[in-house]
């Protein structure tokens, strides 16, 4: 991407690098501070690979106490700290600064306790999202938020970004599925908030911390809600000859009182790339495809799918296919969940995450097409239709500086469009560095000041993941 | 008699709060005032109500979203939703009647300000989980917004949740936007009679561990049960454990049968039909069993598996009647009148077992002398004070309603 404006690095910190690294090494077990160039390179970027910056060092603590010591040390020495889970952020949430350390939580990945009666699991925050579900699956339970990157991404990162997923239409996003946290503040203080009970006393600090993009503290443990899985689930494919018909069909289903557990939308370019990759049996002769999944017993699934087909009839769906086996269902979801990777094989892409009111869907998709055409770029659309969370993938050639610049401009215009129609800049990826300068299109200065004061309250010197979320010019001096 | 400010526009609201901020005049903030008697007593010369800030400003049934000015009566919103077979899935409890007020007086703003959730909390989440966006005036007298009108939104910090449950101490909401959901076609209830607390909670935890999506689970002590269930159903007096299922009719047949089967160890339940079920759960929602008394009432939130133990420990020292909601995780405890409303015992036992307690009903003198909202651990308390200062530096909004100095 084009050069990223950033904060002037703290020369005092850069000059003292060797001393600081020696200091950090005294706080954590041997081998937990990575300072050599090759080692640090693993931490220079996240899934927004266009931006790269080598940190001073990476520190990989194994306990809450070690995190506390490291943060206290950084707080006292004015060293900035970028917390990192698995580095799967699509908005540069884990992008380091030249004068920062990266604090990786990946060593803290244990399940501490599971209570099926209370439907809770207490885990260390560095655990991967899928490993929570894996730990409770033998008893028929799961952890609901399921971002596409769930095989790799950590709960810590999910907490930072308040991640969603394909099934959040029914089960909610991260903030709806967490009951308690252990968080370490920049002065080293360890605070426990909430617990196993369904609501925490006093102000909803839990709700404020989730989605704060690593700017308030470092979460080392969490108590999450686990849910009993449905008896069964089955996806159905429905093709349409226009995006409008598909969008109207989604509205009609929801308006009828049925909330499918997932409704995913793909446009023609996305369908072709994903089919090529996953061989899921997606129809290739349609303009738009819906993957609709419902849950329940065999009979209930039959009943719901036939109700949905009845509702869909006026929108003239083609190529209706109900999955007939677990293998077929897995293939259908594989196509969707690996969509970004599949598109990545044919082109570089820039993934947007805007949200729009569902009623504006066809109009917005048409306008996105026009914006991309104006910038002479191709676009593929894949998204969670039930909640209006769009993921336009703008295709470009990373080695062509002119295309890079156009892709950035194009992306910003797409997000501005989302805000204009009543939506927002990001539904589940977060603001990070990527969208910070667009924040004033959605918020007033006063709105942002109310947010930034909370940042200051947790982290008076703005050492934790600074230069993210807010436009640089608005930072308190 | 205190002055009453009744803004009918957000601008007026902002001006009134800004004036109070510059004059450092504390104000009592409320909707319709149906929950005025909850919290530490306030001593302010001025009250502000959002009652005149009314009207539904947006409703898109196919997008599952509704916006309304904060003073809009909850009853009006529920009627509008019902016309489209939709509802607020978290079925906010109505604290009014047990506080001696009429039912259905509350405003939508207050539902979120108090984070009031009902029995369906265990399935669909709390009030705060359904709040998509707010417009509000902070104690600085400044209008700000957070969230929006779409289902998913992680743009900036999540102030909606920060403001929900803050009892008007951080900001006065002027408009709220919420997620709404379809109502189930039909409701049925399985009713077990005579289970002890411990066994009832075991049954409820087992039920919620099935895939049948139980959407409400209460266990009522005999005195409370008798007020909610007809004697021809109850047959013999005793505690009642009720499990609610909601779905399409054919699913209900199937799920009731399967759930009964999987809970066979707990006896054979009676089955309440749609009409009787709806009546039962609407009484639970209005906390009918707590009405007609002025005895102190505690609301205790804990892990379900701790519920019975916690109540047994309290019952040894305190004469009390109990209803459990949320599969045992929410306890409504009506204590016999005493000098401290049982605060010392409740505080001690809750500290031992885990969870927290709030004194919901007690006269103003008592609410001024005991902890209404349980004391927080020092780290959380420090953050609480800073958050208050960040939104309301002059400390003018409902000062001291939750905690002294906050």
Structure ipTM = 0.97
**Alpha carbon A59 to its chain's center:** 23
Of A300, A444, A451, nearest to B159 by CB-CB distance is A451
Question: B163 with B109, same domain?
Answer: yes
Determine the average pLDDT of the residues in B47-52: 98
Closest chain B residue to the Cα of A181, Cα to Cα: B380
Question: B178 with B213, same domain?
Answer: no
Question: What would the pLDDT profile of B118-145 be if each residue is shown by its tens digit?
Answer: 999 999 999 999 999 999 999 999 999 9
Report pLDDT for B192: 97
Question: B13 with B159, same domain?
Answer: yes
Q: What is the CATH number of the domain that holds B368?
A: 3.30.70
On chain B, the residues whose CB falls within 8 A of the CB of A116 are 209
SS3 A383: strand
Residue at a domain's end among B248, B267, B288: B288
Closest chain B residue to the Cα of A203, Cα to Cα: B166
Give the C-alpha separation, A220 to A336, whole Å. 31
Q: Given an 8 Å threshold on Cβ–Cβ distance, is B154 in contact with A140? A: no
Question: What would the pLDDT profile of A427-444 be if each residue is shown by its tens digit?
Answer: 999 999 999 999 999 999
Instruction: Pick the residue of B120, B123, B154, B351 with the most A CBs within 10 A to test the interface with A by mutation.
Output: B154
Question: B144 with B48, same domain?
Answer: yes
Q: Given an 8 Å threshold on Cβ–Cβ distance, is B301 in contact with A444? A: no
Question: B383 with B361, same domain?
Answer: no
SS3 B179: strand
On chain B, the residues whose CB falls within 8 A of the CB of A388 are 63, 150-152
Q: Which long-range contacts (CB under 8 A, 24 or more apart) does A7-11 make?
A: A7/A97, A7/A466, A7/A467, A7/A472, A9/A97, A9/A98, A9/A99, A10/A78, A10/A80, A10/A99
Determine the average pLDDT of the residues in A32-44: 97
On chain A, the residues whose CB falls within 8 A of the CB of B63 are 251, 254, 357-359, 388
Please tell me the CATH code under which domain A233-339 is placed. Answer: 3.30.70.3450
Give the C-alpha separation, B173 to A203, whole Å. 16
Q: What is the CATH number of the domain that holds B251?
A: 3.30.70.2190
Domain boundaries, chain A: 11-107, 111-228, 233-339, 347-437
pLDDT band for A165, please (50, 70, 90 cuts): confident
Give me Rg for the CA atoms of chain A: 23
Of A161, A230, A450, nearest to B154 by CB-CB distance is A161
Report pLDDT for A454: 98
Total tally of structural domains belonging to chain B? 3
Closest chain A residue to the Cα of B145, Cα to Cα: A447
Q: Given an 8 Å threshold on Cβ–Cβ distance, is A204 in contact with B164? A: yes
Decide: A47 and A89 in contact? Cβ < 8 Å: yes
Residue at a domain's end among B271, B288, B305: B288
Is A138 an interface residue toward B (CB < 8 Å)?
no
Question: What would the pLDDT profile of B315-341 be if each residue is shown by its tens digit?
Answer: 999 999 999 999 999 999 999 999 999
Report pLDDT for B62: 94
Question: B381 with B363, same domain?
Answer: no
Residue at a domain's end among B255, B288, B321: B288
Structural domain span for residue B14: 1-183+375-406
SS3 A453: helix
Least confident of A272-281, B18-27, B397-406: A272-281
Examine domains A11-107 and A347-437 and report if their fold is the same: no
Question: What would the pLDDT profile of A78-112 be if each residue is shown by its tens digit?
Answer: 999 999 999 999 999 999 999 999 999 999 999 99
Decide: A385 and A265 in contact? Cβ < 8 Å: yes
A11-107 is a CATH 3.40.50.300 domain: no
Question: B179 with B198, same domain?
Answer: no
Report pLDDT for A1: 55
Q: Given an 8 Å threshold on Cβ–Cβ distance, is B390 in contact with A356? A: no
What's phi and psi for A279, nearest 5 deg?
50, 50
Report pLDDT for A2: 60
**Alpha carbon A281 to its chain's center:** 28
Query: Domain A111-228 - what CATH class?
Result: alpha beta
Query: Domain A347-437 - what CATH class?
Result: alpha beta
Q: Are strands A392-396 and A141-142 parallel, antiparallel or unpaired?
A: unpaired
Report pLDDT for A477: 74
Interface of A with B in 444-473 (CB under 8 A): 444, 446-448, 450-451, 453-458, 469
Q: How many other C-beta atoms are found inside a 10 Å radius of the C-beta of residue A450?
A: 27
Q: Given an 8 Å threshold on Cβ–Cβ distance, is B159 in contact with A120? A: no
Question: B313 with B233, same domain?
Answer: no
Least confident of A6-10, A209-213, B150-154, B307-311: A6-10
Report pLDDT for A228: 97
Decide: A291 and A263 in contact? Cβ < 8 Å: yes
Q: Given an 8 Å threshold on Cβ–Cβ distance, is B157 in contact with A231? A: no
pLDDT at B1 over 80: no
Question: B151 with B224, same domain?
Answer: no
Question: What would the pLDDT profile of B201-226 be if each residue is shown by its tens digit?
Answer: 999 999 999 999 999 999 999 999 99
Give the C-alpha separation, A464 to A460, whole Å. 10
Looking at CA atoms only, how far is residue B354 from chain A in angstroms?
9
The Cα angle at residue A208 between residues A204 and A210, in degrees rounded to 5: 115
Determine the average pLDDT of the residues in A250-274: 93
Decide: B53 and B10 in contact? Cβ < 8 Å: yes
Q: What is the CATH number of the domain that holds B398?
A: 3.30.465.10
On chain B, the residues whose CB falls within 8 A of the CB of A223 are none
Question: B366 with B220, same domain?
Answer: no
Determine the average pLDDT of the residues in B51-72: 97
On chain A, the residues whose CB falls within 8 A of the CB of B390 are 450, 453-454, 456-457
On chain A, the residues whose CB falls within 8 A of the CB of B359 are none
Looking at CA atoms only, how far is residue A418 from chain B in angstroms?
11
Question: B51 with B38, same domain?
Answer: yes
Question: B152 with B215, same domain?
Answer: no
Read off the tokens for B182: 């379809």
How many residues belong to chain A? 477
SS3 A395: strand
Question: What would the pLDDT profile of A104-144 be if each residue is shown by its tens digit?
Answer: 999 999 999 999 999 999 999 999 999 999 999 999 999 99
Q: Given an 8 Å threshold on Cβ–Cβ distance, is B211 in contact with A231? A: yes
């Amino acid at each position: 991407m084009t050069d990223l404006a950033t904060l002037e690095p703290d020369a005092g910190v850069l000059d003292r690098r060797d001393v600081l690294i020696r200091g950090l090494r005294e706080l954590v077990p041997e081998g937990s501070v990575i300072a050599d160039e090759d080692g640090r390179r693993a931490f220079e970027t996240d899934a927004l690979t266009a931006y790269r910056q080598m940190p001073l060092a990476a520190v990989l603590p194994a306990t809450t106490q070690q995190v506390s010591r490291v943060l206290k040390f950084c707080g006292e020495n004015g060293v900035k700290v970028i917390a990192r889970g698995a580095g799967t952020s699509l908005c540069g949430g884990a992008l380091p600064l030249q004068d920062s350390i990266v604090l990786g939580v990946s060593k803290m990945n244990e399940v501490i306790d599971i209570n099926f009666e209370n439907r809770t699991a207490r885990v260390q925050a560095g655990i991967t999202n899928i490993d929570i579900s894996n730990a409770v699956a033998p008893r028929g339970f799961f952890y609901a938020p399921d971002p596409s990157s769930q095989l790799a991404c950590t709960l810590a990162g999910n907490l930072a970004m308040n991640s969603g997923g394909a099934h959040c239409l029914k089960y909610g996003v991260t903030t709806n599925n967490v009951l308690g946290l252990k968080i370490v503040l920049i002065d080293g203080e360890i605070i426990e908030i909430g617990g196993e009970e369904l609501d925490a006393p006093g102000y909803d600090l839990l709700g404020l911390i989730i989605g704060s993009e690593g700017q308030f503290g470092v979460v080392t443990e969490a108590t999450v809600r686990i849910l009993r899985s449905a008896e069964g689930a089955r996806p159905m494919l429905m093709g349409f000859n226009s995006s409008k018909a598909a969008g109207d069909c989604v509205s009609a289903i929801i308006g009828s009182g049925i909330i499918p557990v997932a409704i995913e939308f793909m446009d023609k370019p996305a369908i072709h790339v994903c089919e090529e990759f996953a061989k899921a049996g997606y129809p290739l002769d349609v303009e738009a495809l819906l993957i609709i999944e419902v849950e329940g017993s065999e009979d209930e699934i039959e009943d719901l799918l036939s109700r949905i087909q009845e509702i869909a009839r006026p929108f003239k769906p083609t190529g209706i296919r109900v999955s007939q086996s677990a293998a077929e269902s897995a293939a259908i979801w594989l196509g969707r969940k690996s969509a970004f990777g599949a598109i990545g094989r044919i082109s570089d892409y820039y993934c947007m995450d805007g949200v729009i009111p569902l009623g504006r869907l066809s109009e917005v998709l048409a306008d996105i097409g026009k914006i991309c055409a104006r910038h002479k770029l191709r676009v593929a659309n894949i998204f969670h239709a039930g909640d209006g969370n769009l993921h336009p993938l703008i295709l470009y050639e990373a080695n062509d500086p002119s295309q890079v610049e156009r892709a950035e401009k194009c992306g910003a215009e797409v997000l501005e469009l989302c805000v204009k129609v009543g939506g927002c800049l990001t539904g589940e990826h977060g603001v990070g560095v990527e969208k910070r300068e667009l924040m004033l299109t959605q918020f007033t200065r006063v709105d942002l000041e109310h947010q930034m004061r909370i940042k200051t309250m947790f982290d008076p010197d703005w050492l934790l993941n600074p230069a993210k979320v807010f436009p640089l010019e608005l930072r308190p001096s | 008699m205190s002055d009453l400010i009744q803004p009918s526009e957000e601008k007026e609201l902002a001006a009134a709060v800004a004036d109070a901020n510059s004059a450092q005049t504390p104000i009592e903030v409320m909707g319709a005032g149906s929950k005025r008697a909850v919290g530490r007593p306030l001593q302010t010369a001025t009250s502000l109500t959002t009652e005149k800030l009314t009207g539904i400003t947006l409703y898109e049934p196919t997008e599952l979203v509704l916006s309304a000015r904060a003073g809009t009566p909850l009853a009006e919103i529920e009627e509008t939703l019902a016309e489209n077979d939709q509802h607020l899935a978290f079925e906010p409890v109505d604290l009014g009647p047990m506080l001696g007020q009429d039912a259905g007086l509350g405003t939508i703003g207050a539902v979120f300000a108090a984070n009031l959730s009902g029995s369906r909390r265990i399935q669909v989440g709390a009030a705060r989980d359904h709040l998509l966006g707010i417009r509000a005036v902070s104690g600085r007298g400044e209008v700000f917004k957070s969230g929006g009108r779409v289902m998913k939104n992680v743009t900036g910090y999540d102030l909606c949740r920060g403001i929900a449950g803050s009892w008007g101490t951080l900001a006065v909401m002027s408009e709220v936007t919420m997620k709404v959901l379809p109502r189930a076609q039909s409701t049925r209830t399985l009713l077990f009679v005579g289970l002890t607390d411990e066994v009832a909670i075991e049954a409820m935890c087992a039920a919620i561990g099935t895939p049948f999506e139980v959407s409400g689970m209460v266990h009522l002590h005999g005195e409370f049960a008798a007020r909610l269930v007809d004697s021809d159903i109850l047959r013999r007096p005793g505690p009642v454990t009720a499990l609610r299922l909601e779905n399409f009719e054919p699913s209900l047949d199937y799920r009731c049968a399967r759930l009964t089967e999987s809970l066979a160890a707990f006896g054979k339940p009676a089955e309440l039909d749609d009409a009787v079920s709806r009546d039962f759960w609407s009484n639970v929602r209005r906390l009918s069993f707590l009405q007609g008394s002025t005895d102190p009432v505690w609301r205790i939130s804990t892990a379900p598996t701790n519920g019975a133990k916690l109540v047994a420990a309290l019952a040894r020292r305190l004469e009390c009647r109990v209803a459990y909601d949320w599969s045992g995780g929410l306890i409504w405890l009506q204590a016999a009148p005493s000098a401290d409303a049982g605060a010392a015992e409740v505080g001690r036992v809750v500290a031992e077992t885990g969870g927290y307690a709030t004194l919901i009903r007690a006269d103003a003198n008592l609410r001024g002398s005991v902890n209404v909202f349980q004391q927080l651990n020092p780290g959380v308390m420090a953050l609480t004070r800073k958050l208050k200062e960040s939104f309301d530096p002059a400390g003018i909004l409902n000062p001291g309603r939750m905690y002294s100095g906050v």
